[in-house]
Structures are given as C-alpha cells and as structure tokens.
Amino acid sequence: MKIPIIYDEKDPKWILLLNIFKIIDSRKIHQEFTRNGIKPVKKGVVNFKIVLMSMFFASDISYVVSELKRSHELRKSLGFNQVPESNQIYEFLARFNQKKILEFVIKTLNKEFKPIKRGKRTVLIDGTDIQVDMNWNKQNYTKKFLEKKGLYWAKSASKGFYIGFKLTLALDYHTGQTI
C-alpha cells in the first residue's frame, strides 16, 4: 500500500512545490512552452505539474493522478480544475524527446535565475587533481615528449608526482551555474 499524498500548507516540501507551480503558471513560462512547441499550453502546464508532482514525491504518474482524482481538497489547494487520465499524460510526454524537454528546462532555469552582473558575487571554487596515470611502465618522460602529447608532470600533496590533469570547478553561489 502506498502512502497517500496529503496537502499540508506548513510542510516545506509543499511550500517549495507551490512556489514552483506559481512560476509554471506565469506568463513568461507559458511563452516558453509555446516557443518550444509544447501546445496546447494549458494542457501542457497541467501535465507538466503532474509530472513534477510525481518526481517530487517519488511515485508513478498514475498514482498521482488517482490521488488528485480522489481528493477534492488536494485538487483545490493545487489549483487543478480537471485532472487528465494518466494515459493522456503519457501520450503527451511521448510527443517530445528527452533532449527537447531537458533543453526547455535548462532555458527556463537560466532565464529565471540570471547571474548577478554588478556588485559582489560569491563564487565557489574547487580544485581537484585527476590522476590519469599515463606512466604505466614508470618511465621517465622528458618535458618535450609530454608537451607533444599535451600532458605535464604535476605534484599533488596526496598522490606525489603524476602525469595527468587538474580540474577546477567554479560555481555561482546563488544560481549554481558554472562560470
């Protein structure tokens, strides 16, 4: 037996989901739906909300649909007038490939969370050595030979000398985007 989905306005998970639903209901997102070929928009918004709910609560789309149909309070609090059948949602999602949906989500997030262009900006930086042991025979290679291959000797405090790369990752603190 699965746990029923019960709306609680004080639960942080529901507060976050309702904030996401407000963003999805905005005119800006409706325009993005149209630009990306997700039509009809109202049907797409409802289907997208149900898919997000199923991902949010780690359950099947069919279970979320049955819970929405069962509970009038849940439909009212989430702003659903009508709930489509689960097979209609699956058919709607089948019209789009995964790349198209992922591209849509990334574009939308980038427009919603624009990086700060002025003032102080917090950047998280992580530098990690990635050891690619090109020296299987433990031979001594000259710098000229390594430069031809695009490799360099490096020294790590934990690994000593190695032939490999250094990965530096820089993320914007507020948006989580790479810089």
Domain containing residue 167: 123-172
Residue 117 lies inside a defined structural domain of this protein: no
> What is the overall mean pLDDT for the chain?
81
- Over residues 149-159, the pLDDT tens digits come to 777 777 767 66
Q: CA 155, CA 166: separation in Å to the nearest integer?
A: 10
Shared domain check, 48 and 20: yes
Total number of domains in the chain: 2
Residue 1 lies inside a defined structural domain of this protein: no
pTM of the prediction? 0.62
- Over residues 123-176, the pLDDT tens digits come to 888 877 666 666 667 677 777 887 787 777 777 676 677 666 667 788 877 777
Say which DSSP state 170 is in: E
Q: Which amino acid is at 28?
A: K
66-82: average pLDDT: 88
b/e per residue, 1-10, with b = 16+ CB within 10 A? eeeebeeeee
Residue 7 lies inside a defined structural domain of this protein: no
| Cβ contacts of 102 within 8 Å, gap of 6 or more | none
Residue 106 lies inside a defined structural domain of this protein: yes
> 166 forms bridges with which residues in the sheet?
129
Shared domain check, 89 and 51: yes
